């Protein structure tokens, strides 16, 4: 069995670019080939921030069998070809073709107190709030059959991909704790067709928006609510007017930067979210602008628009 653990590094090693450019770059230094029964670690700083690992643009995995692979955030694509019985943990958009018996799960991961992981997300131009782990596009789907399935919410991905225990990784403090994961756990497509009350919460661009969103998620768990999906993107004023029922007060807010949207589900979801927000916004985040659904009926329509606007922006 082969294991490859690649953790990007945009946090360390701020060496001179001019010096790096003068150094000869050998392609073979960035290729792992013909390995068997080995565990390979590419740790931060070991490859001088080359794109192979540092806020990676593209990864290619070919002809692998019985391999376990952990890769940091990827800006572009990971190509996995001619491989069998492999486990891959990474952050990327999911598209499959000519694939069978694939299982997907939500990656909840943190390392180096999340300082390094956050920097890698930014460098790869990826938001931890745009988590579509269960939304897979299959180019070769066959009606009536599934080439893939989704892991049960109770199945942790690291049941299949053990956390590295090698001493060389100990300082990174890699863990799979959902409470500290930079990517919040979402139920996604597993909850899409369940007939439960929904609520949309939108935090407008603010220095405390991320922290506030994470605190709300933690509090809703205690109230037995489920986080279905999250999104972070720029909304134009026209879309804002349609989403927020023509309330012009929100139009100026969306011009300040990306918003963070959270979809919750559960019994009395709207009422619970309103009460939680009302309490701790007043206590801790008085100046943070936000929007919240006022009824379950409103929430259904608002969520449709919120996701539609996000999709339109993605394919614009």
pLDDT category of residue 109 using cuts at 50, 70 and 90: confident
**Over the range 15-44, which residues count as b (16 or more CB within 10 Å of their CB) and which as e?**
eeeeeeeeeeeeeeeeebeeeeeeeebbbb
CB 198 within 8 A of CB 296: yes
Domain boundaries, the chain: 2-172, 188-314
Cα–Cα–Cα angle for 269, 274, 276, nearest 5°? Answer: 95
Q: Which helix (H) or strand (E) holds 69?
A: strand 67-81
- Tens digit of pLDDT for each residue in 33-89? 777 776 666 665 555 545 444 456 778 888 999 988 888 888 878 888 888 999 888
Q: What pTM does this model have?
A: 0.82
Superfamily (CATH) of domain 188-314: Nucleoside diphosphate kinase-like domain (3.30.70.141)
Q: Give the residue ranges of DSSP H helices in 228-292.
A: 237-243, 249-253, 269-284
**CB count, 10 Å around CB of 270?**
22
Query: What does pLDDT average to over the chain?
Result: 83
- Tens digit of pLDDT for each residue in 117-170? 788 888 888 899 998 898 888 888 888 888 889 998 888 777 888 777 778 777
Give me the mean pLDDT over the 250-268 stretch. 96
Close Cβ partners of 247 (under 8 Å, ≥ 6 residues apart): 241
CB 183 within 8 A of CB 232: no
Could you check whether 2-172 and 188-314 share the same CATH topology? no
Residue range 2-172 forms a domain whose CATH class is mainly beta
- Tens digit of pLDDT for each residue in 176-227? 888 888 999 999 999 988 899 999 999 999 999 999 999 999 999 999 999 9
């Amino acid at each position: 069995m082969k294991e490859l653990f690649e953790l990007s590094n945009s946090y360390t090693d701020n060496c001179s670019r001019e010096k790096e450019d003068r150094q000869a770059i050998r392609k073979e230094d960035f290729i792992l080939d013909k390995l068997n029964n080995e565990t390979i670690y590419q740790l931060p700083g070991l490859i001088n921030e080359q794109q192979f690992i540092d806020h990676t643009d593209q990864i290619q995995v070919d002809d692998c069998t019985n391999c376990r692979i952990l890769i940091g955030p990827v800006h572009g694509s990971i190509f996995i070809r001619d491989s069998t019985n492999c486990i891959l943990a990474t952050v990327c958009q999911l598209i499959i073709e000519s694939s069978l018996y694939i299982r997907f799960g939500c990656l909840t991961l943190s390392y180096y107190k999340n300082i390094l992981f956050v920097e890698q997300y930014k460098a790869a131009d990826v938001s931890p709030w745009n988590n579509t782990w269960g939304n897979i596009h299959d180019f070769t789907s066959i009606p009536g059959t599934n080439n893939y399935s989704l892991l049960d919410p109770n199945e942790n991905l690291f049941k299949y991909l053990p956390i590295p225990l090698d001493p060389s990784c100990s300082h990174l403090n890699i863990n799979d704790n959902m409470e500290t994961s930079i990517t919040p756990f979402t139920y996604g497509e597993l909850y899409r067709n369940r007939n439960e009350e929904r609520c949309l919460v939108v935090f407008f661009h603010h220095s405390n928006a991320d922290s506030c969103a994470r605190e709300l998620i933690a509090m809703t768990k205690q109230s037995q609510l489920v986080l279905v999906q999250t999104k972070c993107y720029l909304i134009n004023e026209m879309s804002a007017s349609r989403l927020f029922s023509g309330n012009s007060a929100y139009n100026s807010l969306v011009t300040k930067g990306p918003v963070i949207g959270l979809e919750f589900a559960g019994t009395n979801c709207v009422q619970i979210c309103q009460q939680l927000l009302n309490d701790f916004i007043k206590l801790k985040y008085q100046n943070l602008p936000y929007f919240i659904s006022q009824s379950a009926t409103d929430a259904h329509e608002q969520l449709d628009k919120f996701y539609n606007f996000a999709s339109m922006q993605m394919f614009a």
